[in-house]
A and B are shown apart, each in its own frame.
Chain A
Amino acid sequence: MMKRIGVLALQGGVDEHINALLNASEKVQAPVQVVEVRTAEDMEGLDGIILPGGESTTISKLMERANLFSPVLQVRKIMGTCAGAILLAKKVEGANLEQRFLSLMDISIDRNAYGSQKESFEAQLDTEFGRISGVFIRAPKITIMGSGHVRPLAFHGEEVVAAYQKSGERHYIALAFHPELTTTKFHEFFIRL
């Protein structure tokens, strides 16, 4: 049966992830059905979900209003980019007090670590899947990696910019940059999990 993978589609760079998923699924020859997720009904039978980049405060509020926190917490594998990575982290520096998170990964993340848009950048990254170009947009910074079941997937210089956590059958990936804009490597990895 074709695996269903959702992309949270309340706000943010949604189409980019849908395209990356479809291209990745062709490359690894594992057909997937991609679902835009806006309501709890859309979550039915999902094998994985991607939390896109966008404004984390906006996405968090919209998830709460659509009662999506508890169904998303049940999903077997989750990949979050930028805002999505913030939602996955257990500790968030610079968060709004009333903002709600999924808090699934043993990492700390600094929400607006790089400052304003002028500081946004493109850079070459060393990843588990080779050297790629990464785009960082008002990006968060992964400041602390938990010990044990969290490991890095990508570096910018010495800094970890992608983290992967396996907890039993659960798989979580947090990326500070936007792989969906430049590569399908991370989506291929996600599909295969």
Chain B
Amino acid sequence: MFDLKKSEANSSTGTFAVKAGLAQMLKGGVIMDVVSAQHAKIAEEAGAVAVMALEAVPSDIRKNGGVARMADPKLIREIKSEVSIPLMAKCRIGHFVEAQVLESLNVDYIDESEVLTPADSEHHIDKWQFKVPFVCGCRDLGEALRRISEGAAMIRTKGEAGTGNIVEAVRHIRAVNRGIVSLKGKNKDELSESAQALRVPVSLVEKVLELGRLPVVNFAAGGIATPSDAALCMQLGCDGVFVGSGIFKSSDPEKRAQAIVDAVAHFNNPKKICEASEGLGKPMDSLDLENLRPEEKLSRRGI
């Protein structure tokens, strides 16, 4: 029979290829925020590639105010036992002990997230210290590359979570794309200047130039409420989407969840997006960002 010791002798866990690899396998998929095992089941049945466990969806976090923290481990365990797809969970920016707790719970990915109240106003978590991979939010190329140099194996745009308004996500996707394009044709000295301005190692900037994209998978997040929103992010070049409040704050979560999954799979096919969009009921209550005070913007956290 199979000898466990022998075969594990030459294997290594927690390498960057393994961490970034899971994100690669999530591409073209939808990751859904869930606050209960029942939500998680609905998400899995709709075809989500992963679920994100948290105490309250972003729109409720906004409403509730106060300090938003990592979810209760009991809730995370309940959700984990309910589904077979990967489980993600959020910790506060810079709160490496919450991250340690999540790692000990064997979650598959940790989101060091601006949606929760930051624990450290200056530092993000040193993500190289962990075997579990991290995803982090960004608003532009600099933020994305700083998080990658701290060890993030996946990036997402921040957008503006809990608003049901796609405008900030689009702004951030375009800013990342613009940052990548701006590197084209630069010589060694200019690249070194760019790296300095972005506060990241020049090797990372060179890698982006070589690939013509971020060196890790990049999802869209923050404000996706409809199948068209999701497909818009995909057509702008994102590898997949996170949907937070957009599903479980709508009038028919089962139907909307499946519709967004279909729209992401067929993001270049308007006929399919149209079919997916029909008769979904009421979307989540949305916010006009003009009325949001700067300090109410979650995306300004952790830059």
Contact of B265 among A11, A57, A122, A123 (CB under 8 A): A11
**Any B CB within 8 A of the CB of A4:** no
**Any A CB within 8 A of the CB of B28:** yes
State A54–B288 Cα separation when bound (angstroms).
36
Q: Give the size range of B's interface with the partner.
A: 35 or more
Which of A62, A117, A123, A156 has its CB near the most chain B CB atoms (within 10 A)?
A117
State A39–B93 Cα separation when bound (angstroms).
41
Contact present for A96 and B265 (CB under 8 Å): no
Contact present for A117 and B133 (CB under 8 Å): yes
Contact of B21 among A83, A115, A137, A157 (CB under 8 A): A137
Q: Which of A25-69 contact B (CB under 8 A)?
A: 38-39, 53-55, 57-58, 61-62, 65-66
Complex contacts, B262 vs chain A, CB 8 Å: 62, 65
B106 (CB) vs chain A CBs: closest residue: A116
In the assembled complex, the CB of A34 is this many whole angstroms from the nearest CB of chain B, namely 16
Contact present for B24 and A118 (CB under 8 Å): no
State A16–B9 Cα separation when bound (angstroms).
28
Complex contacts, A13 vs chain B, CB 8 Å: 24-25, 27
Complex contacts, B125 vs chain A, CB 8 Å: none
Contact present for B44 and A57 (CB under 8 Å): yes
In the assembled complex, the CB of A6 is this many whole angstroms from the nearest CB of chain B, namely 15
Q: A57-B84, A112-B84 in contact; A12/B50 too (CB < 8 A)?
A: no
Contact present for A121 and B11 (CB under 8 Å): yes
Contact of A157 among B7, B19, B28, B87 (CB under 8 A): B7
Contact present for A54 and B25 (CB under 8 Å): yes
Q: A11-B49, A159-B2 in contact; A123/B12 too (CB < 8 A)?
A: yes
Contact present for B28 and A11 (CB under 8 Å): yes
Complex contacts, B47 vs chain A, CB 8 Å: 57-58, 61-62
In the assembled complex, the CB of B142 is this many whole angstroms from the nearest CB of chain A, namely 25
B30 (CB) vs chain A CBs: closest residue: A58
In the assembled complex, the CB of B181 is this many whole angstroms from the nearest CB of chain A, namely 19
Q: Can you sample 25 A-B contacts with CB below 8 Å?
A: A14-B28, A38-B265, A38-B266, A53-B25, A54-B28, A55-B26, A55-B49, A55-B85, A57-B85, A58-B85, A58-B261, A61-B47, A61-B261, A117-B22, A118-B13, A120-B18, A122-B12, A135-B21, A156-B11, A157-B2, A157-B8, A157-B9, A157-B10, A159-B2, A178-B25
Given contacts A57-B47, A158-B1, A159-B2, 10 further A-B contacts (CB under 8 A): A58-B29, A94-B84, A111-B84, A117-B19, A119-B13, A122-B11, A135-B21, A136-B11, A138-B22, A181-B21
Chain A residues with CB under 8 Å of chain B are 9-16, 38-39, 53-55, 57-58, 61-62, 65-66, 82-83, 94, 96, 98, 111-112, 115-124, 135-138, 156-159, 178, 181
Chain B residues with CB under 8 Å of chain A are 1-3, 6-15, 17-19, 21-22, 24-29, 44-45, 47-50, 84-87, 103, 106-109, 131-133, 261-262, 264-266, 269
